[in-house]
Amino acid sequence: MNATTRFCARIVGTGMYVPEKVLTNADLEKRIDTSDEWIRTRTGISERRIASKEESSSVLGLHAARAALKDAGLEASEVDMIIVCTSTPDVLFPATACFVQRELRASRAAAYDVSAVCSGFVYGLSIAEQYLKSGRYRHILVIGAEVNSRIVDWDDRSTCILFGDGAGAVVLRREEVAEPVGVLSTHIYSDGSLSELIHVPGGIGLNGFSGGAIDPKQYCIHMMGNQTFKVAVKRMSEVCREALAFNGMEVDAVSLVVPHQANQRIIDAVTEKLAIPAGKVYVNIHKYGNTSAASIPIALCEAREAGRIGEGDLVLLSVVGAGLTWGAALLRW
């Protein structure tokens, strides 16, 4: 590598997988006091996918990983690191990434999980960026995989309508380039003082385990919707502006925005603040709901397959999640 070249972290493969079972708003009308119109007008969601009993996060992630590797033309044996971003791990330990590694037979890869909930994929992308740009590794697989249906309270109409299951994956490769391409920058933040806005209060390290004392609802998602909405719009808007400014870019240069698919109203409010036209925003929340860490990689895969992303395009990712966590990434495809 000469003085005019440097390492970049480039996405060379994308993949996704969603379970076959579809849960529509009409199906939810039969279970709780809600309606299709109420859900669609407040969230933008029409249906979501639900994992079968045999489908855990590692199973969903494995399917997405295989698709991404195939797209990249890469063998699993060539992968140096596997990062699984999930808040619904198969078990407490070992890491869900280790199960994916085992099934892929990616024997050379370090494997571990990242827990940043909906922000997980951008956090994982940030880690992969550092390893690749430093020259330490050649290929890294970043997976977002969730089975949110396992931690949803199906009696709580304010949360159960929002979430779905799925997985998305990307393969990143270290390349030597003269001009900036691939992951131009990632920007991640957290604020633990806002942890109660979205959380699952049950745990092991805090309360230990006692079969007679378990309240199942303590292991379900709790959410303060109105407060979360306001913070989400503010933080996502801010971090998007930061990512653009860091790279000396204006909003007009962005070819496509791929936001976290949490709520259509959040997406609309953020893009309005940034003055980004709807035609430059990729949305699939109507089909899958909020798939947490899987949301952005699923959308990236679909956007590529639909021809919405081409070589040289500037792609902006943005997310907010429990923690509170948030982040953005700017990519030159």
Please state, for a pLDDT cut of 70, what percent of the chain lies above it.
97
Q: Which pLDDT score, from 0 to 100, does residue 4 have? A: 62
Q: Which pLDDT score, from 0 to 100, does residue 56 have? A: 98
**Mean pLDDT value of segment 242-249:** 98
Between strands 81-85 and 314-321, the pairing is unpaired
Between strands 6-17 and 165-177, the pairing is antiparallel
Buried residues in 205-238 as b, exposed as e (16+ CB within 10 A): eeeeeeeeeeeeeeebbbbeeeebbebbbebbbb
Q: Which pLDDT score, from 0 to 100, does residue 212 have? A: 62
Q: Which pLDDT score, from 0 to 100, does residue 225 have? A: 87
The position carrying tokens 């989400």 is 232
Give 63: exposed, middle or buried? Use CB within 10 Å, 0-12, 13-18, 19+: buried
Backbone angles phi, psi at 31, to 5 degrees: -105, -35
Residue 214: pLDDT over 90: no
Residue 2: pLDDT over 80: no
**Mean pLDDT value of segment 191-210:** 88
Residue 64: pLDDT over 70: yes
Domains recognised in the chain with CATH numbers = 6-177 (3.40.47.10), 182-332 (3.40.47.10)
Residue 209: pLDDT over 90: no
Q: Which pLDDT score, from 0 to 100, does residue 97 have? A: 99
Q: Which residues pair with 85 in a beta bridge?
A: 114, 144
Q: Are 328 and 181 within 8 A, CB to CB?
A: no
- Band (189; pLDDT cuts 50, 70, 90): very high
- Band (10; pLDDT cuts 50, 70, 90): very high
pLDDT tens per residue across span 97-123: 999 999 999 999 999 999 999 999 999
Residue 210: pLDDT over 70: no
**What is the average pLDDT score of the chain?**
96
Residue 246: pLDDT over 60: yes
pLDDT tens per residue across span 284-326: 999 999 999 999 999 999 999 999 999 999 999 999 999 999 9
**Mean pLDDT value of segment 38-49:** 98
The least confident of 66-75, 154-163, 202-211 is 202-211
Q: Which residues pair with 140 in a beta bridge?
A: 81, 172
| Residue 310, CA atoms < 13 Å, CB-side half-sphere | 3
Q: Which residues pair with 6 in a beta bridge?
A: 177
**Residues marked as catalytic:** 118, 260, 290
